[in-house]
Every structure is written in C-alpha cells, then in structure tokens.
Structure 1
Amino acid sequence: MSRVRVDVHTHLGRHGTHVRGPLAEDEIRAWGRVSWDVTVEQHAAAAAAADTSIVLAFDAEPVGVVVPNDYVAAAVAGRPQLIGFASVNPTRPDASYRLADAVEKLGLRGLKLGPTYQHFHPHSKQCLDLLEVANHYELPVIWHQGTTFTRAAVAEYARPVQLDLVARRFPKLRMWIAHFGHPWMAETASVIRRHEHFYVDVSAMDTRPWQLAQALAAAAEYRVLDRVLFGSDFPFSTVEQTVAGLRRAAALCRSLGIADISDNHVDDICSRDALSLLGIDRPTVAVK
C-alpha cells in the first residue's frame, strides 16, 4: 500500500458528549450505527497510518455536534504527527474572538467550516468577517461544502459554487473542499481550477466508488488532479480503506474509459505534500 504523507481530514469525539442528536440519531437512521465515537487514543492509533494527520474541531451546535477547540488542542499536544484545526460557527456573536483565541492561546493551525451544518450562508457578512480573521492569521480553511445525511442540515447552503465568491474575495487564502463536494464533483472541480490556492480532498468517498470515479475523472478533465489531497474522514473511514477505494475508483475509470487514472496518479495523491500546499509549517516537538 502507498504510504500516505498527509491525511488532511480526521475527526475525534465521543458519542453522547460531543456528538448528540439530531445528527447522532440521523447517523443511525442512515447507516445503522454511530461511527463518530472515538477516543483520543483510538484516533492517535489510527492516525499512525499516515505521516501527519489534521484533526478537526467542529462547532456545529445546530446539528448537535460540538468538538471543542480546546479538546482538539489537548488531543494533539505532544503528538507532533497531529495538527489541530479550530472550528468556529460564524453566527456566534464572539466568533472572531474565538478564532483568534484558538490560534493565539491554543496553537491551532487552521479553520473548519461547514455551512450546511452550522446554518450560515458562505456569502453572509458573518462568514466573511470570520474569514478576515483567518486571512489575517494565514489559516488554511477546510469547507464541508456538499451533501450530508442529517435532516438538520440546511441543504441550500451546501453547493460548492458558493465558494467562488469567497475565493475571489480572499485570493491568498488557502482553502479546500471536503468529500470532493459530492454529489457535485464536477462543480467542485470547475470552481477550484479558477483559483490558485484552492484544493479538494477525497475523504469518505471510498464508500461511493462510482462517485469517486466520477470525481477523479472530473479532476482529470478540468486538469486539477494536482489539487486533489488525501483525506480519510476517520472514523468514518480509514487510511487503508481510502487508499483501496482510490485504487478501485481508478480501475473503474480505466475499465469504463472515462479517464486514464493510473495507480501512479493514486500514488501521487497519497504522497502529496499537502502541508506545503496549504502553507502549514511541519509540526515540531515542543520543548517543555
């Protein structure tokens, strides 16, 4: 199996503490079980399959998920292979302060946003004001811009094309769209190709081989295969499952004749230096 250099998309958090209803109940309805129930130790063990992993906080109280910034900061402390990202809902009155605090006091290195979960439009003043803070600190931003299983989400906030305005407003801000923006993979590819510092990850797409094949084909057609980052979406998937899913999707592309995606292309995704692309310094062990 290809060694994964950077997994740009992982989660931790406990069911009943950080992950509650309505999302937890909808996860059972959609998948038959709760996957988002993982300890710090379980996460660290799974993350060993990659050289470096980004760990995401998530401030999505409207759907019942709050994985706090300080919880993530404590989880990555002393683990130089892990990089913590903050999450702040832009609708909070003190959103800008919370993000500055996460950077300056907690040492978090990026920002996670999910408009469909956090109930804000990407063009809203609240969002753009928070992105001014991210831009000031040169924080990379990961967006969940795509569909989701929970009925508590706001679907009209989820289209990838809505981030075109954001990228125009902040041309130097490094950003990426999670899950290839499914089911709008071609729309995602068409948006990111327009902007120098815009990327996409393949997290959780291994369970949808046809959509992942279409995503890789769209990336090839729009000539943005070099913008595709590796992400597992642990605990919903693993590094090993994601690599295997990429190989299956590449083979499907070839067998159907929709794109010439080779195993070398998959190896490129796995070995891509996402930290450099996202402007993140390599983690070091803090001296105590």
Structure 2
Amino acid sequence: MKYIDVHVHPVLVQEALDMEPRLLEAARKVFNIGTAPQPLSILLKLMDNAGVEKAVLLALDAKVSKGYTIPSNTTVYKLVKKAEERLVGFASVNPKDSEALKELKTAIEDYGFKGIKIHPPIQGIDPLDRDMYKIYERAIEYDVPILLHSGFTWVYGYSIDTCNPVRLEKIAIHFPELKLILGHMGWPWVREAVALAMKYPNVFLETSNVYTGTPEEHMRHIFQECMPKRLFDRFIREKVIFGSDYPRIEIDKMVGALKDLDLEDMTKEKILRENALNILKLSK
C-alpha cells in the first residue's frame, strides 16, 4: 500500500528558493528550521523511501502579517508541475488582502489546487473573524477542504486558545457543507478535536507534528494515551488523515510511527491513504 501525506511545507526545496529569494529567510524565522536546502528530487526520493505516493505541498500567505509568502501559490504550482503524478497543491490566502478571492480563484480554477491552507497564528487572523467567512464560502463553492491549523502554536503573542477546537466548533456549525480539517489533531485539546470529528460529518483531523517527543512517542500519546484506541477503530477511522509536517519531521519516521500503533490494520490504511483520497477527491 502506498500512502498520502497531506502536510508538507516546501520551504527548503531549492527550486522554490530559486523562485523566491526571501523564502529561506522566512523559513528560518517562521519555522525555525536549520536543515539545508535540497532539490525537489530529494523530496521525491524521501517520499519513495517512506512509501508515500502523493504529497500535498502547502502554500502559506503571510504577506499581510509578515511581508512575505512561505511560499506563494504560484511557487507551489510550479513545483507541482514538475511532478504532477506525485504532488498536489493547497492554496493559501489572507482574507485581509483585497486580492484574496482573486488569488483563490486562480489557485483552484487555473492551478488545479485541491484545498486551502489557513494558519491563523502566522497569518495574523482569527478563524472566527467575519472576514474568514468569504473564504469558507468559496471553499464550499469550489468543493475543496480547508486545512486549518488548530491547537498549540509557537507564535509569541498569539493566544493558543484562538485555535482551540472547541472554539472552532462554530465554523462546523455555521458551515455544515465545509470540509474542515483540523491540523495537528488539535493538540493539546485532542479529546475536544476527536469529539468534533465524532459529532460533525464535515470535521476531519490530521496527524502532523510531534509536540510531545519523538514521532513514536507523540503518535502513541495522541492515539493511545489521550484517547482509547477503540474510538479511532470504531467511530472515526474515516475522519483522520496522515500528515508529516516535513521538513520539521522526517516523512519516513512519521509513517513508521503511525504504522507501529496498536490500531486495527483497516484503521491505519484509512488514515495513511484512503481518507485523503476521498476528502481530496484524488484518483486511486
């Protein structure tokens, strides 16, 4: 079985750095990543080594909050075009930008992107602001999911409670047709995130990051210590999708940590592949 990784930041891909001279500086400042840039071919090789068939490359529009993109929608599009059978694009826009809807239209209609990435702490927005409603409405219109950063953030001065899954419940209620993916399993509010996924058909969870230790330790913490594993096996096996958060965490280590969990094989297959194919409407 081949896997799908829905959370890859192409911030250290050399071809992206060639297109955006400030990207390396932005990656260092925002993501605090110290690893060296590498060509796209290395990312594809790392995917191969991890058994990952397709990866979602995430744009991040921080022009309003920080003055740069990390990277831009256009850069992600050009990377995807270099390996269309392996890479998928997610757009990013800031509703405070007057060009947001125009940029989103280009990304979805012209670039063929399969979703939208919103990172409220880095973008300096509140996911419950009325300005965000137009983004949610367009996501429904385009029938694409929104991957929304949820839970903890390292961004100083931005309250982690702003992205508390309980607070984000309002989005699920007001926009029942919106496919809402809560990044990072909502940690540290994993129970609350799982409760939302159980309650709302339109809420999904995504596994990336390792806040509590190694990939193995964090996956056990999420899937076996925070919640009894039967909840994942019985109730929300169709609601969780795999993401690594590369280059912060190595893709193969995250895949291995998920595969080693004491979950039913069918649950792991759905998390690692089937759910992403269905939510993103990717060909099997």
TM-score over 0.5 (shorter chain)? yes
Q: Distance in 2 between matches of 1:41 and 1:201?
A: 26
Please tell me whether the aligned partners of residues 215 and 253 of structure 2 are also in contact (alpha carbons under 8 angstroms).
no
* Structure 1 equivalent of residue 251 of structure 2: 239
1:247, distance to aligned residue in structure 2 (A): 4.5
Residues in 2 aligned to 1:169 and 1:37: alpha-carbon distance in whole angstroms:
42
1:138-169 Cα shifts (integer Å, max 9, x gaps)? 11111111213342645342212222111122
Instruction: State the match for 1:75 in structure 2.
Output: 79
SS at match of 2:138: helix
Displacement, 1:210? 4.5
Q: Which has the higher contact order (CA 8 A, sep 6+)?
A: 1
Q: Kindly tell me: are residues 153 and 47 of structure 1, through their superposed partners in 2, closer, same or farther at Cα, counting changes over 3 Å?
A: farther
Q: TM-score, normalised by structure 2?
A: 0.81
For residues 273-288 of structure 1, the aligned pairs below 5 Å read: 273-276=275-278, 278-282=279-283
- 1:203 is aligned to 2:208: yes
Deviations, residues 167-199 of structure 1 (Å, cap 9, x unaligned): 122212222111111121111111121211321
Paired with 1:19 and 1:131, the residues of 2 have a C-alpha distance of 30
The residue that corresponds to 2:222 in the other structure is: 215
CA distance in 1, matches of 2:36, 2:167: 28
1:192–1:268 distance in 2 versus 1, CA, 3 Å: closer
Task: Determine if the alignment matches structure 1 residue 44 to structure 2 residue 44.
Answer: yes
Structure 2 stretches of 5 or more lacking a match? Answer: none
Report what 1:270 is aligned to: 272
- Are the aligned partners of 2:115 and 2:280 in contact in 1 as well (CA < 8 Å)? no
Deviations 1:52-88 (CA, angstroms, capped at 9, x unpaired): 2111111134356521000000101142221111011
Task: Tell me which residue corresponds to 2:174.
Answer: 169
Paired position in structure 1 for 2:9: 11
- Number of aligned residue pairs: give it: 265
**Does the C-alpha gap of structure 1 residues 171 and 74 become closer, same or farther in structure 2, counting only changes over 3 Å?**
same
Q: Any gaps of 5 or more consecutive residues in structure 1?
A: 252-260, 284-288
Tell me the TM-score normalised to structure 1 length. 0.80
Greater Cα offset, 137-146 or 201-210: 201-210
One-letter amino acid matched to 2:248: F
**Per-residue deviation, residues 249-272 of structure 1 (Å, max 9, x unmatched):** x35xxxxxxxxx356643443243
- Cα 1:139–1:27 change in 2 (3 A) is closer
RMSD: 2.7
Distance 2:143 2:168 in 1: 18
User: Structure 1 residues 39 and 92, CA, compared in 2 at 3 Å: closer, same or farther?
Assistant: farther
Which letter maps to 1:213?
R
The verdict on how the C-alpha distance between 1:105 and 1:262 changes in structure 2, with shifts beyond 3 A counting, is closer
- Work out the CA distance in 2 between the residues paired with 1:216 and 1:225: 11
In structure 2, what is the Cα distance between the partners aligned to 1:26 and 1:85? 19
The 5-angstrom pairing of residues 136-147 of structure 1 reads 136-147=141-152
**Aligned residue type for 1:173:** L
User: Does residue 102 of structure 1 match 2:103?
Assistant: no
| Residue 36 to residue 221, structure 1, CA distance change in 2 (3 Å) | farther
Change beyond 3 A, Cα 1:7–1:212: same
Change (3 A) 1:220 1:4: farther
Q: Contact 1:10–1:232 (CA<8 Å) still a contact in 2?
A: yes
Tell me, in whole angstroms, the C-alpha distance in 2 between the residues paired with 1:35 and 1:184. Answer: 30
Preserved contact between residue 111 and residue 140 of structure 1 (Cα < 8 Å): yes
Secondary structure of the residue that 2:7 maps to in structure 1?
Answer: strand
Q: State the alpha-carbon separation in 2 of the partners of residues 71 and 26 from structure 1.
A: 18
1:149 to 139, 147, 154: 154
Q: Distance in 2 between matches of 1:232 and 1:209?
A: 12
> Per the alignment, do residues 194 and 105 of structure 1 end up closer, same or farther by CA in structure 2, a change over 3 Å counting?
same
